[in-house]
């Protein structure tokens, strides 16, 4: 039996650059894996892709909208071998494939123009 742990995503202040929730999430998952503290990884569908999001302060952000979970080891016993990654459902895998191959070029242009427009108005 394990106790569920919910970790809120703390996004660092990136000097008002576009916040990449996905990069922060991936860094957290990577660090937990490297520390040997993960029993298994899995993903569930979240809100879906957001290309032109704005946070509460009006800064642009984008996300694939998926939620990653890391089931942590019991009693902090470090895991020697890499944890298994349970595959996402087929529809999520397809969406991720499209998102990561096409989304980055669209996002780069839209975030750059939104950020420059913000700096012009300040």
Binned average pLDDT, 10 residues per bin, the chain of 122 residues = 48 51 86 93 82 81 84 90 87 80 63 50 48
pLDDT of residue 19: 60
H helices present in 54-121, as ranges: 90-121
pLDDT of residue 39: 93
User: For residue 95, which of 47, 35, 33, 34 has the smallest C-alpha distance?
Assistant: 47
For residue 35, how many C-alpha atoms fall within 13 Å in the half-sphere facing its CB?
13
pLDDT of residue 107: 57
Answer whether 0.75 is exceeded by the pTM. no
pLDDT of residue 40: 92
Helix, strand, or coil (residue 48):
coil
pLDDT of residue 109: 58
Residue 119 structure tokens: 């700096």
pLDDT of residue 31: 93
């Amino acid at each position: 039996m394990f106790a569920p742990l919910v970790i809120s995503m703390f996004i660092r202040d990136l000097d008002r650059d576009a916040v990449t929730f996905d990069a922060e999430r991936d860094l957290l998952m990577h660090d937990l894996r490297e520390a040997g503290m993960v029993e298994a990884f899995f993903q569930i569908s979240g809100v879906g892709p957001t290309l032109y999001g704005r946070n509460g302060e009006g800064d642009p952000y984008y996300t694939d909208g998926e939620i990653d979970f890391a089931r942590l080891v019991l009693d902090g016993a470090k895991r020697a071998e890499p944890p298994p990654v349970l595959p996402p459902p087929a529809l999520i895998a397809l969406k991720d494939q499209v998102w990561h191959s096409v989304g980055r070029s669209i996002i780069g242009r839209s975030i750059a123009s939104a950020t420059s427009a913000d700096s012009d108005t300040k």
